Amino acid sequence: MIIDGKKTSEEIKNEIAARVAEIKIEGGKIPHLAAVLVGYDGASQTYVNAKVKSCEQVGFESTLIRLEDDVTEKELLKVVEDINQNPEIDGLIVQLPLPKHISVEKVTEMIKPEKDVDGFTPSNVGRLALNWPSYVSATPNGIMELLKRYNIETSGKNCVVIGRSHIVGSPMSILMARNTNPGNATVTLTHSRTQNLPEITRNADILIVAIGKPGFVTADMVKEGAVVIDVGIHRVEDTSKKSGFKLIGDVKFDEVSEKASAITPVPGGVGPMTIASLLSNTLLAAEKRIY
Ligand code: GUN
């Protein structure tokens, strides 16, 4: 089975658009997302443009704040603080990575937890670990939504996560171990220092790959019938394509899909779900359903 993130994300966006239509009738607050983009990193520009476009699609308001890559940390902190104080804006994201002269910790800590729809602040990460209501980082949140909507059983299963980033691997391991559905899995969080990785991954009923290396997971690392979730997205040259490139994941799709019972493709798997989750979080913020 192919787990279709594109289709599922469209369903979620339709649900959100329907809720926005109701809010309009009720005379409530139209959700408003502010995105801060520093500099000209190609991937970051693509992601932020996609986020802003998706806001339009579901009827949200959005504000894109572009800053030059030589902006000072103090200036950026002031921009964040102004958005914190602006009652018109419900959700705030600062696109990462930031230039080296800016402390990502300082900037993240400045974001008001109530508007932190990326779920990156210490307050939201702590609340996640405690299983309190919190904003959950968009990619892991999107994966949980896919598992839920595809009725994939996770309780009591062995879940192996590859990659321990703050944005994906680490929150993913917390969510899968929590006493929720999906969740209740026996989780192994692996990373670059893990020994005998193929031995561990072959034991996974659910394998979540967020290592950031193209084609890293091969068929011999996967158990027959496993559910495989591929978070990677890489542009590689392909002269047979008009564009000259194609997108591939962290998993060798052709060979692993022969063994897996369900798998997310790249593109069209986890990627579109990330944006749908950000929109869901922004709706939660406008409706003040977390804090
Ligand atoms: N950079 C890569 N992923 C993300 C994300 O989900 N949010 C933000 N703000 N920056 C990112």
What are 254-266's pLDDT values in tens digits? 999 999 999 999 9
Index of the ligand 1 atom closest to the CA of residue 94: 9
Are residues 174 and 60 located together in one domain of the fold?
Answer: no
Ligand 1 near 95 CB (within 6 A): yes
Ligand 1 mutation target, pool 67, 118, 277, 281, most atoms within 8 A of CB: 118
Are residues 104 and 142 located together in one domain of the fold?
Answer: no
Mean pLDDT of 31-48: 96
Are residues 245 and 172 located together in one domain of the fold?
Answer: yes
Mean pLDDT of the chain: 97
Index of the ligand 1 atom closest to the CA of residue 139: 6
pLDDT the model gives residue 2: 98
- CA–centroid distance, residue 139 to ligand 1 (Å): 9
* Within a domain: 277: no
Are residues 105 and 146 located together in one domain of the fold?
Answer: no
- CA–centroid distance, residue 95 to ligand 1 (Å): 5
Would you place residue 51 in the very low, low, confident or very high pLDDT band (cuts 50, 70, 90)? very high
pLDDT the model gives residue 95: 98
Catalytic residue numbers?
51, 95, 118
* Within a domain: 80: yes
Please name every residue paired with 114 in a beta bridge, in sequence order, or none if there are none: none
Ligand 1 near 138 CB (within 6 A): yes
- CA–centroid distance, residue 217 to ligand 1 (Å): 23
ipTM for the predicted complex comes to: 0.96
Are residues 153 and 263 located together in one domain of the fold?
Answer: yes
Residue corresponding to tokens 């680490």: 170
Ligand 1 near 96 CB (within 6 A): yes
pLDDT the model gives residue 9: 98
Task: Tell whether 163 is in a known binding site.
Answer: yes
* Within a domain: 132: no
- Over the stretch 12-22, which tens digit does the pLDDT of each residue have? 999 999 999 99
- Over the stretch 101-159, which tens digit does the pLDDT of each residue have? 999 999 999 999 999 999 999 999 999 999 999 999 999 999 999 999 999 999 999 99
pLDDT the model gives residue 285: 98
Are residues 167 and 257 located together in one domain of the fold?
Answer: yes
The residue range of the domain holding 66 is: 25-112
- CA–CA separation, 53 and 57 (whole Å): 6
- Over the stretch 172-225, which tens digit does the pLDDT of each residue have? 999 999 999 999 999 999 999 999 999 999 999 999 999 999 999 999 999 999
The domain tally of the chain equals: 2
- CA–CA separation, 117 and 103 (whole Å): 20
* Within a domain: 13: no
* Within a domain: 122: no
- CA–CA separation, 148 and 165 (whole Å): 23
* Within a domain: 246: yes
* Within a domain: 16: no
pLDDT the model gives residue 198: 98
DSSP string, the chain: -B--HHHHHHHHHHHHHHHHHHHHHHT-PPPEEEEEEES--HHHHHHHHHHHHHHHHHT-EEEEEEE-TT--HHHHHHHHHHHHH-TT--EEEE-SPPPTTS-HHHHHHHS-GGG-TT--SHHHHHHHHTT-S----HHHHHHHHHHHHTT---TT-EEEEE---TTTHHHHHHHHHSSSSS---EEEEE-TT-SSHHHHHTT-SEEEE----TT-B-GGGS-TT-EEEE---EEEE-TTSTTSEEEE-SB-HHHHTTT-SEE--SSSSHHHHHHHHHHHHHHHHHTT---
- CA–centroid distance, residue 51 to ligand 1 (Å): 11
CATH of the domain at 165: 3.40.50.720
Are residues 166 and 218 located together in one domain of the fold?
Answer: yes
